[in-house]
Structure 1
């Protein structure tokens, strides 16, 4: 794609048409992403560690309120409710989830309704609110219906990096989260540097990062697995093309490492919370359940940790509170 564009073999708007085709294709890959998530340990470890940390910080609460900035399938809340029901130390009277989104409203509502149905089977008092905003700039604390008796947590999985290319929106979101002043904010992000203006640097970073991701699929999924083909060709294929071939405003996929995020969070008065030894131990037990788990490892980094594949950092998990 980049060679074609530089030599004039394709029109400059060729990348825009590819992005449109991708959006249409992605409408049908949710089931593939979910199946991929079940078989490859990387994202499951992030999700489990995040919610183990949230639960630890809300353990003594009677009412809990989780503000989720990217709810997706919501399977993490099924695990959370099962954990709460199985633990004698829990005395939860009410669980509330606020799902915030800018697109796919019907999918978000379906997810929340499914969680409400599951909560009934567990005899858990549960409510949800879907907050749709046309633009992140429209997200305000007043939309959240906060209750002074609740303990609030914010969960931000892989959402902040999507706003790197729109710094005013990223800062606006962080200012509103600060107004919420949650007990804990748990953030999972891609651990890579895909922001360099130099093509060679981006190519090298993408080569090592996505090489490790594709290796994880090779180890955990068969060659003819449909989910693997979709993830390689559509989901991650689009990311690689955007990072390597696009320039300027067209390059919308940008990732930075947790050390850079730490400097950014400090500007908003955020203090990193050390993830517990119990979280680390439980996450390692989860990894051991996978046949390919010996290639996945956790590396303590600051207060959080990095999820690695054969020594290559893939994701970061960190927890924060406001001073």
Structure 2
């Protein structure tokens, strides 16, 4: 099985198909796209920076929405995609320097970043149970997308959350309260 990084770069058609089959992927993408379209309705020049781009399948929808605007025609739409590699994202620098007028973050709400192993294990168990229940309701067991999700993405996520510490742990989901405080602190630095 490929690693998570390899899966995002080599299994693009399968990743896109998985996103189309799972309702929660569709809901999060629709919500993100709508937030962007609503907040940029009066903008003439738009630069979108996608940190950690996976498939990019949502950007044609943004382009179509902006192309169909009758009032306030768009003069420029620039999309900068940064791959899922942590090093590339870190090269971009602290997002605050870009001074975004809207920022959309899609994150799993779970507390898998606690230093206490038992708390982290418990949170990972609840998260995975919810994901497996969703797969059970939305996909057949033999579905190639389900096999890919469970065999690559979820397996690596579980392994990373439970067996790694420090810098090596890349899966660090947090609760909504954490992200609210984080973005408020970042905004106060401006």
Q: How many Å apart are 1:236 and its aligned residue?
A: 0.7
Q: Secondary structure of the residue that 2:3 maps to in structure 1?
A: helix
Q: Secondary structure of the residue that 2:105 maps to in structure 1?
A: strand
In the alignment, structure 1 residue 56 sits paired with structure 2 residue 38: yes
Q: Secondary structure of the residue that 1:224 maps to in structure 2?
A: coil
Question: What does residue 22 of structure 1 align with?
Answer: 3
In the alignment, structure 1 residue 44 sits paired with structure 2 residue 56: no
Match among 91, 116, 126 for residue 138 of structure 1: 91
Instruction: Check the 8 A contact 1:70/1:101 in 2, yes or no.
Output: yes
In the alignment, structure 1 residue 72 sits paired with structure 2 residue 25: no
**Structure 1 unaligned regions, length at least 5:** 1-17, 104-132, 140-172, 271-321
Question: What does residue 89 of structure 1 align with?
Answer: 71
Q: How many Å apart are 1:67 and its aligned residue?
A: 1.6
Question: Whole-Å Cα distance in 1 between the matches of residues 84 and 119 of structure 2?
Answer: 32
Deviations 1:15-54 (A, max 9, x none): xxx9xx6258625433222111001111221122112111
**Structure 2 unaligned regions, length at least 5:** none
Greater fraction strand: 1
Instruction: Check the 8 A contact 2:53/2:84 in 1, yes or no.
Output: no
Q: Secondary structure of the residue that 1:252 maps to in structure 2?
A: coil
In the alignment, structure 1 residue 268 sits paired with structure 2 residue 177: no
Question: What does residue 190 of structure 1 align with?
Answer: 108
Residues 240 and 82 from structure 1, CA distance in 2 versus in 1: closer, same or farther, beyond 3 angstroms? same
Residues 251 and 84 from structure 1, CA distance in 2 versus in 1: closer, same or farther, beyond 3 angstroms? closer
Question: Whole-Å Cα distance in 2 between the matches of residues 43 and 250 of structure 1?
Answer: 27
Instruction: Check the 8 A contact 1:32/1:231 in 2, yes or no.
Output: no
In the alignment, structure 1 residue 237 sits paired with structure 2 residue 190: no
Question: Whole-Å Cα distance in 2 between the matches of residues 38 and 235 of structure 1?
Answer: 16
Q: How many Å apart are 1:256 and its aligned residue?
A: 0.9
Question: What does residue 276 of structure 1 align with?
Answer: none
Residues 70 and 138 from structure 1, CA distance in 2 versus in 1: closer, same or farther, beyond 3 angstroms? closer
Instruction: Check the 8 A contact 2:114/2:120 in 1, yes or no.
Output: yes
Question: Whole-Å Cα distance in 1 between the matches of residues 87 and 118 of structure 2?
Answer: 36
Aligned length: 189
Residue pairs, 1:124-135, within 5 angstroms: 135=88
Normalising by structure 1, we get a TM-score of 0.53
Point out 4+ residue stretches in structure 1 off by more than 3 angstroms: 133-138, 247-250
Structure with bigger gyration radius: 1
Q: How many Å apart are 1:85 and its aligned residue?
A: 3.3
